[in-house]
Homo-oligomer: A and B are copies of this chain.
Amino acid sequence: MFKIRLLVTALALVSSISVASAWETLPTEAPAPADNATTAAKVELGQMLYHDPRLSSTGTVSCSSCHNTMLGGEDNRPNSMGVNGQTGGRSAPTVWNSAFNTVQFWDGRAASLEAQAAGPVTNPIEMGMKSWDDVVARLQSIEGYKHYFEQAFGKDAISKDNATKAIAAYERTLITPNSPYDRYVSGDKSALSAQQVRGMEKVAELGCTSCHSGPAFNGPGAFQRFPVIADGYWEAQYHFKKDKGLAEVSKNPADEHLFKVPTLRNIALTAPYFHNGSVGTLDKAVMLMGKLQLGKDLTKEETADIVAFLNGLTGEFPKQKMPVLPGTPGSSFN
């Protein structure tokens, strides 16, 4: 009897250690690629470019219009609104902690923040510029940018490559550490409520963490199929399968409905949910993840506990200065 109890305790300890080691805090710095070391000058320029609506054909849409750095890093809309009021079929992912994504965009078609930054600018329904040559020409026409590109990259440095590098360098600073979860994992056991701790344990027990683990709860794999379980009832309501995910880009049937696993950090601030933004509330999103990914009907209590835990993933937003953008020369943008 004693031996059995000892064994159980030992197993519990092992299990508790193994679970504990799986809960990671968010690093306060993001790694940068070898060819784009993060520097203060790049971050300063990148913050300007990120917030500059003159990177769009109408002069009305900046990166921050859809990935709002004053909010949860996106726009709380099902689908974002680009130039001339146009909308697409996907919901803007948050820019906060995007430095910790393995791939970028919902379909994961960009391997880096640099590659991602190049996309929306020339997308006709997003920022609508005809070409990056046009973007570079416009940046060159804004006299004041010359200085900032020079500080960051040296002389005659206004180019697509450097603009996207600067934006990516800035985005690598958009990290939200010290959430209640991080403080809990770091030893402050009062940082999460009993309900939140129950939700945290439930997330591990159900297997949510097999896709949503690591410091940003978006790995270890970069992609996951969604939905895993075919369900005509929910599909009729939310049309998740209309979007083929990675297969839209790769044209490979094996990639159908593969999506980037999104971070769970700050998820309480980023309604509505899923790639098409069709689900308005977090409790419904949790319920659907249970049904469609795990084949489980979560109880009301389980759902409430998990939602409470997810609310504990809201981090501290860094204090930023408001950029002063270089002035527009005598011309208009429309």
Q: Does A139 contact B (CB under 8 A)?
A: no
Residues of chain A from 84 to 112 with CB closer than 8 A to chain B in the complex: 84-86
For residue A252, CB closer than 8 A to chain B, the reply is: no
Decide yes or no whether A282 CB sits under 8 A from chain B: yes
Rounded to whole Å, the gap between the CB of A307 and the closest CB of chain B is 9
Residues of B with C-beta under 8 A to A65: 53, 60
Using a CB-CB cutoff of 8 Å, which residues 31-67 of chain A contact chain B?
51-54, 58-60, 65
Residue of B nearest to A75 (CB): B59
- Complex-state Cα separation, A323 to B71, whole angstroms: 9
Closest to A326 in B: B71
- Asked if A59 and B85 sit within 8 Å, CB to CB, the answer is no
- Identical chains bound together, number: 2
Bound-state CA distance A320–B322 (Å) is 5
Interface pair A327/B51, CB less than 8 Å apart: no
User: Contact: A60 with B77, CB < 8 Å?
Assistant: yes
> Is there a chain B Cβ closer than 8 Å to A312's Cβ?
no
Expressed in whole angstroms, the Cα–Cα distance for A329 and B317 within the complex equals: 17
A1 at the interface (CB under 8 A from B): no
19 contacting pairs across A/B (C-beta < 8 A): A58-B81, A60-B75, A60-B77, A70-B324, A71-B325, A71-B327, A72-B327, A76-B333, A79-B334, A268-B330, A269-B328, A271-B332, A280-B330, A280-B331, A281-B331, A317-B324, A320-B322, A321-B321, A321-B322
> In the complex, which of the residues A72, A81, A277 has the most CB atoms of chain B within 10 Å of its own CB atom?
A81
Cβ contacts under 8 Å, A213 to chain B: none
On chain B, the residues within 8 Å of A71 by CB distance are 325, 327-328
Main secondary structure of the interface of A (DSSP, over half): loop
A272: Cβ under 8 A from any B Cβ: yes
A83 in the interface (beta carbon within 8 A) = yes
A51 to B334 Cα, complex, angstroms: 22
Tier of interface size on chain A: 35 or more
Residue A262 CB within 8 A of the other chain: no
A69 within 8 A of B: yes
Chain B residues within an 8 Å CB radius of A329: 271
Interface residues of A in 13-47 (CB under 8 A from B): none
Q: Which residues of B contact A321 (CB under 8 A)?
A: 319-322
Interfacial chain B residues near A58, Cβ < 8 Å: 77, 81, 85
For A303, list chain B residues within 8 Å (CB): none
Determine if A199 is an interface residue (Cβ-Cβ < 8 Å): no
Q: Which of chain A's residues 291-332 have a Cβ closer than 8 Å to chain B? A: 314, 317, 319-325, 327-332
On whether the beta carbons of A327 and B269 are closer than 8 Å, the reply is yes
In this complex, the member of A52, A269, A330 whose beta carbon has the largest number of chain B beta carbons within 10 angstroms is A330
Task: Find the B residue at minimum CB distance from A80.
Answer: B60
A69: chain B residues at CB < 8 Å are: 322
- Closest CB in chain B relative to A112 CB, distance in Å: 25
A68 to B323, CA, bound (A): 11
